[in-house]
Amino acid sequence: MTLLNLVNINKGWIDRELTNHYAENVNDKLKVRLFTIKASGTTISPNSLANALLDFLPDYFKTKVEIDAEVRRQMDAFVAEGSTATEIEMREQSIALVQNRTYRQASKFFNRKSADNKTGKYGELLLFACAEALFDCKMIAHKITNITNYHDEVKGGDGIFLGNYLLSDSTKKAAYFIGESKVWKQYASAQTDALNSINRFYDDDVQANFTGLEFFIAKKDINKFDDGQIDINQIYDRLNPTSSAFKDQVAVHPILIMYDSPSYTRLMTEAADNVALEALIAESVKAKLLRTLERVSAKVGAYKHLNKVYLDFILIPTESVDAFNKAMDNLI
């Protein structure tokens, strides 16, 4: 069994909730994907997307191995209590109890932060769901430095994933993914902040300590994936910057940006139904395609190190980032 067998989110969620307009290779190491939230009548509502993300809270918070172990312990507890239920019934009851318990724990994990940090968490959850759906990868750690309080003076990656990356020539290469997520009103500001964060991994002044710390912390938790069938030593090697397995990988940085699109109000006003609204949005996206790609390329080119690694932008324009955050607040 490989690490990828532990990916247990339903990858079909992204096709149900989002419309993929394009996935363009700007060059061999720069890709830009653009998605929009599917229309609901003549509006763009974040509620369905928020509910879909809510389903991923347990998988974001704990690994499949941890959840399975808790299910087994709960079944043992039922037996010790003298339950007369069948094994199948006990397992079903145990799964339901553990899922509910994990969901409550995950909710507290989100709510223990200030409002600003909490909305940042929503971006991390969206990054997790998109990365495991779009890429051949599994998340190993999330929001590393904020959770551990190491190096509070800098921000860590919003998620480390291991897996394989599909290159522009359609070949797959072993990769580690360090993602960045921004759910901001202003696209330009979000893009700049995300690229500045990624650049810290390669900046001559801080990259050695910063990168080493990220992988050190990620390695501390790999036992959470040990189900007796996974080669934990292989995972450890892939997180060890001095190993040949690590050096054989390429670095990929998924950069997810959800942002306000001023044109949405006009498009929703003009649309007669959801089909018309989807068509108007697609037309608007297509009209901006070349300009979007050119601007992303120019922005990345301003960083001397970032053309050396793989960057994969996941853009999600929407009517209101505030509405998305409030929908998540209300559900969690």
User: What are the residue boundaries of the structural domains of the chain, listed by start?
Assistant: 3-331
Mean of pLDDT over the chain: 86
pLDDT, tens digit, 9 for 90 and up, residues 103-160: 887 777 676 554 454 457 899 999 999 999 999 898 887 654 344 443 443 455 678 8
How many CA atoms within 13 Å lie on the side-chain side of 236? 9
Write down the H helix ranges in 135-231. Answer: 144-148, 187-199, 207-220
Return d(Cα 270, Cα 34) in angstroms, integer. 22
Query: Which pairs with CB-CB distance under 8 Å and at least 24 residues apart come from 110-114?
Result: 110/57, 110/332, 111/332
**Residue in 235, 281, 227 with CA at minimum distance from that of residue 39:** 281
Question: Looking at residue 263, what DSSP letter applies?
Answer: T
pLDDT-derived band at 64, boundaries 50, 70, 90:
confident
Return d(Cα 201, Cα 90) in angstroms, integer. 48
Which phi and psi angles does 38 have, rounded to 5°?
-65, 140
Give residue 214's pLDDT: 60
pLDDT, tens digit, 9 for 90 and up, residues 167-214: 999 999 999 999 999 999 999 999 999 999 999 888 877 666 556 656
Return d(Cα 236, Cα 221) in angstroms, integer. 10
Give residue 153's pLDDT: 38
Question: Looking at residue 142, what DSSP letter applies?
Answer: S
- Is residue 22 within 8 A of residue 34, CB to CB? The reply is yes
pTM, full prediction: 0.86
Amino acid at 313: F
Return d(Cα 226, Cα 327) in angstroms, integer. 35
